Amino acid sequence: MTYLAKPKLHHPDLPANALGFTRRDYEGTISTLCAGCGHDSISAAIIQACWELAIEPHKVAKLSGIGCSSKTPTYFLDKSHGFNSVHGRMPSVLTGANLANRDLIYLGVSGDGDSASIGLGQFAHAMRRGVNMTYIVENNGVYGLTKGQFSATADRGSKSKRGAVNTDEGIDLAILALQLGATYVGRSFSGDKAQLVPLIKGALTHPGAAFIDVVSPCVAFNNHEGSTRSYDYVRNHNEAVNRLDVITVHREITTDYPPGSVQEVTQHDGSVLRLRKLADDYDSSSRISAMSYVQSRYAHGEIVTGLLYVEPDATDLHASLNTTEVPLNQLSEKELCPGSAALEKFNASLR
């Protein structure tokens, strides 16, 4: 951790986005995590993604639970709405906020302890309900704040810093998200921003439950020989299935790829997810083949990364509940109490 402030000066040629903001305008206060923490790279990727998409900071709500990962929303988007909630309870607080104001972009940041242990149930239900959000798990396989116990996502057989071998099966949150009905599922690595930034951009523009499992090495407790979440291990076992370009409505498509090597997914809002295949036999439009591919590669010790699955016609909780287009928090007394005539009519419909 550090307490020295990052100087405000920036590169003289730092570009501005469509809103006139530089990337630095999307930063937060200085991180107090350990130096070299993968989480800080993920924060940087979120900053980059929001800047590239020219998102208005006040249109974002960032929510988190408890843990190293859940501290990170302080370190980015300091002009956005934020809620640091209860351990493992980010999904329900976020669901409530989303129901009250559907106009905001919801970004849930959680960790493997927060989402795979104490909050596993919350995670599951947010996914199966299809809450329109970006759910990022900063997954380091270890409880860093309590000094290095295995977390629920640690691989069976991996070693702790002190040499203990994990005997429990690890939870793969990406597989769970696929099984539970998330409509956008990705996996990435904090040390590969070229892959991570577009994945976050795709998730932020995705109109449904988007989940990204980001492997994020813990330099203090899980970056040693025998760990399966160390920088070296992940770099050596990272199998990227595709590369993603996110083309927003306003940007023209200019790049050309050989036919067959690119898969394009047009989302509801008109944005295009353009996937360059790296693994020939990988199909990110099929939930079932995605699950089987990820698991078969896992059996070989490989970590599959990239956009694993995307449903182009995704819907969300508001569609299921048939809520009004106007955010609930903006409804006035007039709409909420339409008078006795409307009540009569409603009651009659129930008879």
In the complex, the residues that contact another protein under the rule CB under 8 A are: 2-14, 24, 34-38, 40-41, 43-44, 190-191, 193, 217, 219, 223, 231-232, 235
User: Closer to another protein at the Cβ: 100 or 194?
Assistant: 194
Tell me which amino acid residue 49 is: A
* Smallest gap from residue 337 Cβ to another protein (A): 51
Instruction: Indicate if the alpha-carbon torsion angle 16, 48, 278, 285 is positive or negative.
Output: negative
Q: Which whole-number Å values give the CA distances from 40 to 30, 123, 219, in the listed order?
A: 10, 23, 11
Give 150's contacts (C-beta < 8 A, 6+ positions apart): 141, 142, 143, 158, 160, 164, 166, 168
Smallest distance, Å, CB 218 to another protein?
A: 10
Closer residue to another protein in complex, CB, 71/102: 71
Decide the pairing of beta strands 142-143 and 149-150.
Answer: antiparallel
Give the residue with the Cβ less far from another protein, 10 or 345.
Answer: 10
How far apart are CB 124 and another protein at their closest, in Å? 32
Judged by CB, which is closer to another protein: 37, or 304? 37
Helix (H, G, I), strand (E, B) or coil at 340: helix
- Least Å distance, CB 139 to another protein, is 16
The sheet with strand 272-277 has its strands ordered as 242-247, 272-277, 262-266
Complex with another protein: residue 90 or 196, whichever CB lies closer: 196
- Number of continuous H segments (helices) and E segments (strands) in the chain: 12, 13
Closer residue to another protein (CB): 43 or 151: 43
- Alpha-carbon distance of 169 to 145, in angstroms, equals 22
Taking the complex as a whole, the smallest distance from the CB of residue 29 to another protein amounts, in Å, to 13
**Which residue type occupies 31?**
S
10 Å Cβ neighbour count for 261? 12
* Smallest separation (angstroms) from another protein to the CB of 9: 6
